[in-house]
Structure 1
């Protein structure tokens, strides 16, 4: 694999950092030419020979189409110039993703990178791929079944960072404060881990007035749940909101604003989406968790190409994890980074995820000036 650049290495609880992960902006300059857009969620392919399948779960979060897909495709082509990337997006439809796996098997992909809509429901599809001799790399979520590798972030640490930030935002009012928890989708194994991490920090420090799941991570679910919490607890009795993701934060904030709650209580988030960063700048959202996309994409691409070549993953993945069905899976586990108004420049701007101009549009210019993002 030396011809493709430095190997991706991982240690438990530590981020993977390689020369290939430093400059997102440069890598993305070429990404637009890698594959054709797939608005319908159907299979699309890049040019090449050997086929590697890439199945992503949704476009509910902007990260998948904006970052994960182009970065994975770009890195695969850097490592394997005769590889074709076959791509599809399930748009949160389990049956569609199961069918997409079937199509990938029929088309003869040699490796499959899979971010499952529902880890348990996709188990039979992973087993089907395994029977067809197709190794599966679980991406971002730990798929069930006989997977060959796994790439994600330290998801319990994500929840810990969110919980710590919420306590920091509450300050002296944390003791006895009442919060609402808006957790992720019950079919997403990461959501349970985020929640566990958050509770390890919050339990015993604050009162959890209401807690809800958000099927499919949909913002409208968060809006409805937040509205219910306001009705049940009272508008003056919500001191903070644990939102597991940025789209859930958006739904919660819209419900809080609709109830004319001022000032808004601190709200957490995850994925450092552009709209979330702008909400952080404007003071509507307290924080998000940034999970640098490039090292995750690089590791998945490196695993897929290694498996396509029949190579072991030991030099890529120096960590092992257990899924509910498979033990000792070679894994790359990366460190997440909290983002608040104080470190936007040092995180998402420095890494080239967003420019100051993208963040500080006319609507947010005054807020950007107040926070020091622009002079």
Structure 2
């Protein structure tokens, strides 16, 4: 069946189906179209590459800039260095767990030898791992652990440490009695809870002693910047602009929060944290509107992942040096954990991100004040 007729069949018959059947058809449709995309892409490669091992990376969404802007190209380049003969396919499920499941099924049907998965649903993605396991395909959990499943390896930063760095920054940049708003990330992402564990380990004792005041503590579905902005606007209204600092767990949400602060002429007066070191966040720091971002080298994270993949493709055990003995329990197994080191980035050390290749100085400094790395 051609892609056009496949799509016509799906759309023409969905109206006559119940909820269960609709979900089933959607899953078939996603899997069929994803498989066609993989086959089509493979067909554009040189003929000799057809026997090359296929590695498929499944990303969660494109709301957060890092996934498409950094992780995708950096992993692709890292694989070229670590295992030049491999075919690499990167898919993005756009925050749709069913679509990610279908992409995994399509990848396995297309003969993938390794799956690298950033799960949308970290519990539901156990199905992906179990399906892959039955076919002898190892799964590397990238940036987010997958629970209660035989995950082969895990590559990520320590989320608790990130939260500790964010919490300490807020503690150090507020005065006695300072009013703090905490806008948490997505409840579907374990990292949001790890970050919270870290920053609350610093801030909760201050709240308990009344030396700082918690004015709001909402959660934002799917890390959506527009929803973070709406939350911040509601907080400013409820407190009559009575906020002295905002803890944002990532840069995308920080952008939305700063937009709300801008609407009240408070941007740059209220410290705001972030995470990822995105281009937008670095420019907000240059403008004095965002105070810091926690950054880990996504190049390092991609390189470590690629080294693990390359070893697996060669039928070898990845080097123990990648893990340093670290493991993370996922309720089923202790998963070997390749850790990435987090750093607080401010105006003073922004060159760390530029020197790593995550962004270029030209891109960061375009139209920006001549401060920090943009002085010359």
- The TM-score bracket by the shorter chain reads 0.7 to 0.9
1:213, CA displacement in angstroms?
A: 1.3
Match of 2:139 among 136, 139, 151: 136
Match of 2:166 among 159, 162, 165: 162
Kept in 1: contact 2:58–2:91 (CA 8 A): yes
The CA distance in 2 between the partners of 1:323 and 1:106, in whole Å, is: 29
The CA distance in 1 between the partners of 2:125 and 2:160, in whole Å, is: 23
CA 1:249/1:262 → structure 2, altered by over 3 Å: closer, same or farther? closer
The CA distance in 1 between the partners of 2:341 and 2:137, in whole Å, is: 29
Query: Does residue 322 of structure 2 align to residue 321 of structure 1?
Result: no
1:321, CA displacement in angstroms?
A: 2.5
Kept in 1: contact 2:75–2:302 (CA 8 A): yes
The CA distance in 2 between the partners of 1:332 and 1:263, in whole Å, is: 36
Extract unaligned runs of 5+ from structure 2.
Answer: 1-35, 207-211
Aligned pairs for 1:195-344 within 5 A: 195-205=196-206, 206-235=212-241, 237-261=242-266, 264-315=269-320, 316-344=322-350
The CA distance in 1 between the partners of 2:153 and 2:373, in whole Å, is: 42
1:218, CA displacement in angstroms?
A: 0.7
Aligned pairs for 1:340-359 within 5 A: 340-345=346-351, 347-359=352-364
1:227, CA displacement in angstroms?
A: 1.3
Kept in 2: contact 1:183–1:214 (CA 8 A): yes
The CA distance in 2 between the partners of 1:125 and 1:357, in whole Å, is: 41
Kept in 2: contact 1:143–1:323 (CA 8 A): no
CA 1:372/1:63 → structure 2, altered by over 3 Å: closer, same or farther? closer
Give the structure with the higher percent helix.
2
SS in 1 for 2:370: helix
Mean Cα deviation higher: 283-292 or 326-335? 326-335
The CA distance in 2 between the partners of 1:266 and 1:75, in whole Å, is: 36
1:319, CA displacement in angstroms?
A: 3.0
Aligned pairs for 1:153-192 within 5 A: 153-170=157-174, 173=175, 175-192=176-193
The CA distance in 2 between the partners of 1:249 and 1:234, in whole Å, is: 20
Kept in 2: contact 1:313–1:330 (CA 8 A): no
Query: Does residue 77 of structure 2 align to residue 71 of structure 1?
Result: no
- Per-residue CA shift, 1:268-310, capped at 9, x if unaligned? 0000111101111111010001111111001111111212222
Give the equivalent residue in structure 2 for 1:12. none
CA RMSD of aligned residues (A): 1.9
Aligned pairs for 1:12-27 within 5 A: none
1:80, CA displacement in angstroms?
A: 2.0
Match of 1:90 among 74, 90, 93: 93
Kept in 1: contact 2:138–2:151 (CA 8 A): yes
1:42, CA displacement in angstroms?
A: 5.6
Kept in 2: contact 1:321–1:327 (CA 8 A): no
Kept in 2: contact 1:320–1:328 (CA 8 A): no
- Per-residue CA shift, 1:151-196, capped at 9, x if unaligned? 00111111111111122222xx1x2211111111111111110111
The CA distance in 1 between the partners of 2:91 and 2:288, in whole Å, is: 36
